Amino acid sequence: MNYRLKNGIAFSLILQILAIKWLSNQPEFIEKYYSNGLYPYLSNAMRWLYGSFPFSVGDVIYTLLILAAFRYIYKNRLIIRLKPLSFARNVIMILAIAYFSFHVLWGLNYYRQPIYRTMELNANYTLQELNDFTEVLVQRTNAAHKAIEPIDTVQVDIPYSQSDIYVKIEQGYDQLTAQYPNFQYNHPSIKGSLYSLFLTYMGYGGYLNPFTLESQVNQKIPIFRFPVVSCHEIGHQLGYAAENEANFVGYLAALNNKDHYIKYAALSYALSYCLAEIRNQDETRFRELYSLVHRGVQKDYEELKRFWVSYENPLEPFFKTFYNSFLKANNQSAGIKSYSLVVGLLVAYHQENPL
């Protein structure tokens, strides 16, 4: 590749950043021409291409790229020292290609219309509405627990393998498609991450590879969380980039599943978010509601907490800070806290569609 072309590609990074800045203020355009225009074709094609592989192609590519980068730096260390500007230009050129690929293949979904608008939901809620909804969630979660495990102090044991869950969660999306065509999920491409241990130390349950559009799920997380995390990552595949929206779409898919175990996982998942939000606003009310939750459900929450605590490490805050900055740079002003914004969507949705 000649120097003029390399310089042009590197310089394009500035133009791309300006273009994304402009597009970020055009959500209607993004929604119509990208999220509901180009992206569904890209997503279906990528899922068809990589979905048949039993392993994460994206994780393998990442590994090879990292090894290639170290090899390049080692072999060219003297040239890099003698020509640092040329090396910097090459790095910027690679970043420009990655930046372009990221946004074209998936990242523009960060700037689409908010889901509460496309689904015509009222995003605002009162504390009383949250309390009322959480009371219903407690009742429904307890009932779902009892339907599986008659003894309310016993923790639910989901009898499925991770591969079984991948197959079963597609049913929930099939059910949703009748009411919301945008949730149609063809050519599944969801896999356990080869980097599950690394993800656990980082504090993440999964991620979407934005270059291969494979959904990656942390294979180490407790099994009762596995269905909703898997549904969450599929939500990203369908073009819902914001974390609260992927949480919401994933919850709806799991809730609409005919399988009792997956439906229970959805209800306990939503309940945990609502209880956490109430705790932030009224500790006394939180304790009252939490005391009504079956002891078996509480054991799920305690197991999840022990799981994450057991992997805490000095680097985790760094990873969380980096991801927080990444989300803020991609139109999610709340950063990591955007996950919990799903509460507003849950309350709004169930005002229109009571449990």
pLDDT by residue (tens digit) across 19-30?
999 999 999 999
Q: What gap in Å lies between CA 220 and CA 323, rounded to an integer? A: 20
What is the phi/psi pair of residue 217, to 5°? -115, 135
Radius of gyration of the chain (CA): 22
Q: What is the pLDDT of residues 116-175, one digit of tens each?
A: 999 999 878 888 999 999 999 999 999 999 999 999 999 999 999 999 999 999 988 998
Q: How far apart are the first and last CA of the chain?
A: 60
Question: What pLDDT does residue 318 have?
Answer: 80
Euclidean distance between CA atoms 32 and 89, whole angstroms: 36
pLDDT score at 316: 80
- The pLDDT value recorded for residue 171 is 87
CA 252 to each of CA 67, 74, 76, 228, 350: distance values in angstroms, whole numbers, following the listed order: 40, 49, 51, 9, 11
Per-residue confidence (pLDDT) for residue 313, from 0 to 100? 87
In this prediction, residue 239 carries a pLDDT of 96
**pLDDT of res. 339:** 66
Distance of alpha carbon 265 from its chain centroid, rounded? 16
**What is the pTM (predicted TM-score) of this model?**
0.93
Tokens 């399988």 belong to which residue? 259
The predicted pLDDT at position 336 comes to 61
Query: Which residues in the chain come in under a pLDDT of 50?
Result: none
